[in-house]
Amino acid sequence: MTKTLIADRPYHHGDLRRTIVQAALSILGETQSLEFSLRELARRAGVSHNAPYKHFADKRELLAAVSAAGFEMLTKRMARKSDGVIGAREQLTAMLCAYIDHGVENPALYGLMFGGYLGGPDYSRPAIELAAAEKTRSLLAGAIIAGGLGQPITQTARNERRIAGAILACWSLVHGLTMLLADGLVGPKEKAGALASRLVLGMLDRLSVEMLVLPRGAWVGPKVLRSK
Amino acid sequence: MTKTLIADRPYHHGDLRRTIVQAALSILGETQSLEFSLRELARRAGVSHNAPYKHFADKRELLAAVSAAGFEMLTKRMARKSDGVIGAREQLTAMLCAYIDHGVENPALYGLMFGGYLGGPDYSRPAIELAAAEKTRSLLAGAIIAGGLGQPITQTARNERRIAGAILACWSLVHGLTMLLADGLVGPKEKAGALASRLVLGMLDRLSVEMLVLPRGAWVGPKVLRSK
DNA sequence: CCAAAAAAGTTGTCGCTGTCAACATCAGCG
DNA sequence: CGCTGATGTTGACAGCGACAACTTTTTTGG
């Protein structure tokens, strides 16, 4: 018997790569745990335990793709939330709150994106992830350059370290709050939105572009793309 | 043959629990990766692959003990660094910088402590870890109450949410910066100290006790100890 | 003081995992 | 057509976390 009449999927799946990543996102959302197996994803996708290896060299690469998908979701969410908003300051606020929301609603995914599951002792994250993370960083940078901290900044070489410092201050605060909320060390989750907007507003009231100029040679953001 | 002459360790190890945790800390420091096996720790300790189960119910409990050890190291380091310092503000600064240093020097351990490897979907972290984390929190709280943000705060019920808000602002910033540095998303590591002190100083200059009052019902810190 | 119980360590086993190798199927192109 | 490469499958292997049964030592109560 080569074919049954109904529901006989073809030998080739068609879009297994996306399906696998999607399955990983589902399982992450359901269990909120990073401890799932590559084989389980294959089962969910209805393929053999080795099929994923035709699309990912190893599990690490698979996780990197999931993380990259997380960054894309994050970037889209930030862009969407700040889209209708007018005023650079308000746009930045909206972005930062969207960032926190994303982390709080997807704690396991956020942990995968930032928790150091990827990138071994050499700090080298897979390229696909770096590219996705860089998009997020540049979106944030745009909002700051546009004047999110009170005044627009011309993007000169002289101002580069100033901009990076501003990004660092914003990102550190928001990243820290997000992780604490996602981890349950600060809560409750129902109040996450209120906590986030209070903290972000309070911060932005005080932050200025001049607050922190990065030391020479310091960077902010995924590394590979800088080494051009 | 019941005994050989040399180096014949007794049937009972004597302090296997500590040895195992110590082995985990070593391997964490060497590989900077969370992917080690319980069996490898047993091998390092020179015992059979099942011996650790006499001291830890499962791997999770073992990891919790390692995480707790990390919190103890952190608390001690913060206390030591702020010990000789005079001035509440300077003490708080020293503590926060020590916190960041601890994370940057032990990124994998810091990831274990905060990365959500422990505590499944129910947010329940093992008790041993919560107790250790609470010590860290209360040390930070002490420095803030003593006037780290400009003025001492009397520890009344009315001020509780004020204090918690101040802790949250400090902790979020420092936690975020630490993770970004540990992850390699901000760097380089050699500049970590400079980055940390600049950011912390800049922040403390602007932070005030009044900046953030926590919403009613919100908490900051490990959860179990609050539910008394 | 010594047996009995408890604590601590060992061996053997189980199912599951990530990964590799070899084979099967199919799509696209000459 | 038939070939080739991409994609999916089957089978195998070592290593893992966990459990059960057994052994050795320490502790303890009469």
* Record: contact B219-A33, CB cut-off 8 A: no
Residue A207 has a pLDDT of 85
In eight-state DSSP terms, residue B215 is: P
Q: For A89-115, what is each residue's pLDDT tens digit?
A: 999 999 999 999 999 999 999 999 998
Residue A184 has a pLDDT of 86
Nearest nucleotide over every DNA/RNA strand to the B53 CA, judged by C1': D18
Q: Is residue A28 scored above 70 in pLDDT?
A: yes
Compute CA A133 distance to the chain's CA centroid, rounded to the nearest angstrom: 6
Residue A119 has a pLDDT of 63
Residue A212 has a pLDDT of 85
Q: Is residue A130 scored above 60 in pLDDT?
A: yes
| C-alpha to C-alpha distance for B96 and B148, rounded to whole angstroms | 11
Asked whether residue A55, judged by its CB, lies under 7 Å from any atom of the DNA or RNA strand D, the reply is yes
User: Of A163, A168, A212, which to mutate for an interface test with B (greatest number of B Cβ within 10 Å)?
Assistant: A168
Residue of B nearest to A184 (CA): B123
H or E stretch including B219?
strand B219-220
The tokens for A213 are: 């100029």
Please report residues of A whose CB lies closer than 8 A to that of B132: none
Question: Distance (Å) from the C-alpha of residue A225 to the closest C-alpha of chain B?
Answer: 12
Distance A9 CA to C26 C1' (A): 13
DSSP β-bridge partners for residue B186: A220
* Record: contact A173-B168, CB cut-off 8 A: no
Residue A56 has a pLDDT of 96
Distance B34 CA to C22 C1' (A): 34
Contacts of B20 (CB under 8 A, 6+ apart): B41, B42, B45, B52, B55, B56, B62
Match 């040895």 to its residue by tokens.
B19
Write out residues in chain B with pLDDT < 50, as ranges: 1-7, 227-228
Helix axes A59-81, A38-45, angle to 10 degrees: 70
Nearest nucleotide over every DNA/RNA strand to the A53 CA, judged by C1': C19
Residue A4 has a pLDDT of 36
Three-state SS at B204: helix
Facing residue for B179 by CB, picked from A108, A114, A195 = A114
* Record: contact A198-B215, CB cut-off 8 A: yes
Radius of gyration of chain B (CA): 20
Q: Is residue A32 scored above 70 in pLDDT?
A: yes
The tokens for A158 are: 């002289």
Q: Is residue A74 scored above 70 in pLDDT?
A: yes
Q: For A176-211, what is each residue's pLDDT tens digit?
A: 999 999 988 897 889 999 999 999 999 998 888 888
- Mind listing the domains of chain B with CATH numbers? 56-226 (1.10.357.10)
Tell me phi and psi for residue B220, to 5 degrees: -135, 120
Helix axes B59-81, B88-105, angle to 10 degrees: 140
Query: What's the mean pLDDT when you consider all of chain A?
Result: 88
User: For strand C, which nucleotides have at least one atom less than 7 Å from a protein CB?
Assistant: 7-13, 16-22, 25-27
Farthest CA pair distance, chain B: 74
